[in-house]
């Protein structure tokens, strides 16, 4: 299925659409005049997204819903189909996080991150499949992270949830294969992105937070998601840091433990004192926060996008090459004796 096959504009649903990556994804789909169901809690942000979509030639339906409420999410999906027709693409993007050492994170906070980031993805997928499976067509995009493969300090709840999404996604794809389904699924693994979440996240640190490592603009992620929606490729990795992180976690997990333990705590802090203002963990923060964070001067506007199969092949080649090199060295050493 590709967008060229549609005689009508595509119907797209995006969760977490009021700000950040979700809002950038909405703008990218609007460029092809898509009809978009916008799901998030923040009414003002959703209205801002709607205006942007309409200015770009798309149509939008504002749906203020918490993705942890399955019944409300399912009703929102029905409203999208009643308004725009069958859902062609569903993007699971909603997330939240708590930044702090695990010892400082309350269990109600941990559970909330899990409910939004993991269960919200599961609920969204259920809503999408309920409508796509009878038609045996459609596309579901999972917005993932390099942290789905490699957990880092200060983000135990978020990393755990993204790992859970990865496991759920593996099982789902295998089931769809078993069912000979034509529904397409893909997961887009992202690097650090310059979004509003770093002003809105619950922060237990002494400094204001920042994305880890090289930072990319949300439009880089959005373009990758729209591309992925037209494919059944298993995964896409966005940005060189995501590729490096995923390969490193597979080849050198112990070394990554040490490296991240030494660098990742300070690497997620700015020099600015923490403000500890209102956060979006349990309820929306009023106002239209847009899609960009405070790191425009540091963020890259482009980055590589590669298929996961390419990265896996590269990983295998590196392992094979290392084994061959070590074998050659050992053999040469023995022959000189």
Each residue of 227-247: pLDDT tens digit? 999 999 999 999 998 888 888
Among the options 118, 149, 158, 237, which is catalytic? 158
E strand segments, 19-173: 35-40, 59-64, 89-92, 98-99, 139-143
DSSP state of 292: -
C-alpha to C-alpha distance for 115 and 256, rounded to whole angstroms: 28
Tell me the C-alpha to C-alpha distance, in Å, between residue 170 and each of 47, 64, 165.
Answer: 35, 30, 9
Closest CA to 166 of 308, 315, 314: 308
C-alpha to C-alpha distance for 317 and 323, rounded to whole angstroms: 10
Which residues, 6 or more positions from 301, have their beta carbon under 8 angstroms from its beta carbon? 216, 217, 219, 220
Backbone φ and ψ for 75, nearest 5 degrees, come out as -65, -40
* pLDDT for the residue numbered 50: 98
Each residue of 121-150: pLDDT tens digit? 999 999 999 999 999 999 999 999 999 999
C-alpha to C-alpha distance for 146 and 311, rounded to whole angstroms: 13
* pLDDT for the residue numbered 103: 97
User: For 3-335, which CATH class?
Assistant: alpha beta
Q: Which ranges of the chain have pLDDT less than 50?
A: 1-4, 316, 320, 322-323, 325-326, 328-329, 333-334
* pLDDT for the residue numbered 41: 97
Q: Where are the domains of the chain?
A: 3-335
To the query of whether residue 158 is one of the catalytic residues in this protein, the response is yes
C-alpha to C-alpha distance for 175 and 41, rounded to whole angstroms: 31
* pLDDT for the residue numbered 303: 87
Contact indicator for 141, 186 with CB cutoff of 8 Å: yes
* pLDDT for the residue numbered 176: 98
* pLDDT for the residue numbered 249: 86
């Amino acid at each position: 299925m590709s967008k060229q096959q549609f005689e009508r504009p595509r119907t797209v649903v995006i969760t977490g659409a009021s700000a950040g990556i979700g809002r950038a994804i909405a703008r990218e789909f609007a460029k092809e005049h898509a009809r978009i169901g916008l799901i998030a809690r923040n009414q003002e942000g959703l209205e801002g997204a709607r205006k942007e979509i309409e200015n770009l030639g798309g149509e939008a339906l504002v749906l203020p819903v918490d993705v942890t409420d399955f019944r409300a999410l399912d009703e929102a999906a029905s409203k999208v189909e009643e308004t725009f027709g069958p859902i062609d693409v569903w993007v699971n993007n909603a997330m939240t996080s708590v930044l702090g050492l695990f010892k400082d994170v309350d269990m109600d906070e941990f559970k909330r991150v899990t409910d939004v980031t993991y269960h919200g993805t599961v609920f969204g997928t259920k809503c999408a499949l309920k409508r796509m499976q009878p038609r045996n067509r459609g596309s579901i995009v999972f917005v993932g992270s390099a942290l789905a493969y490699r957990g880092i300090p200060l983000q135990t709840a978020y990393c755990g949830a993204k790992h859970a999404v990865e496991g759920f996604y593996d099982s789902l794809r295998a089931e769809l294969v078993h069912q000979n389904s034509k529904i397409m699924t893909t997961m887009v693994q992202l690097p650090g992105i310059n979004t509003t979440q770093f002003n809105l996240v619950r922060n237990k640190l002494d400094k204001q937070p920042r994305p880890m490592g090289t930072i990319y603009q949300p439009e880089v992620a959005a373009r990758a998601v729209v591309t992925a929606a037209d494919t059944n490729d298993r995964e896409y990795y966005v940005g060189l840091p995501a590729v490096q992180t995923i390969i490193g976690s597979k080849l050198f997990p112990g070394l990554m433990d040490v490296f991240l333990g030494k660098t990742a705590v300070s690497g997620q802090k700015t020099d600015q004192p923490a403000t500890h203002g209102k956060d979006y963990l349990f309820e929306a923060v009023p106002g239209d926060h847009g899609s960009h964070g405070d790191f425009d001067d540091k963020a890259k506007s482009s980055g590589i996008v590669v298929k996961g199969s390419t990265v896996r092949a590269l990983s295998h080649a590196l392992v094979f090459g290392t084994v061959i090199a070590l074998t050659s060295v050992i053999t040469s050493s023995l022959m000189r004796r």
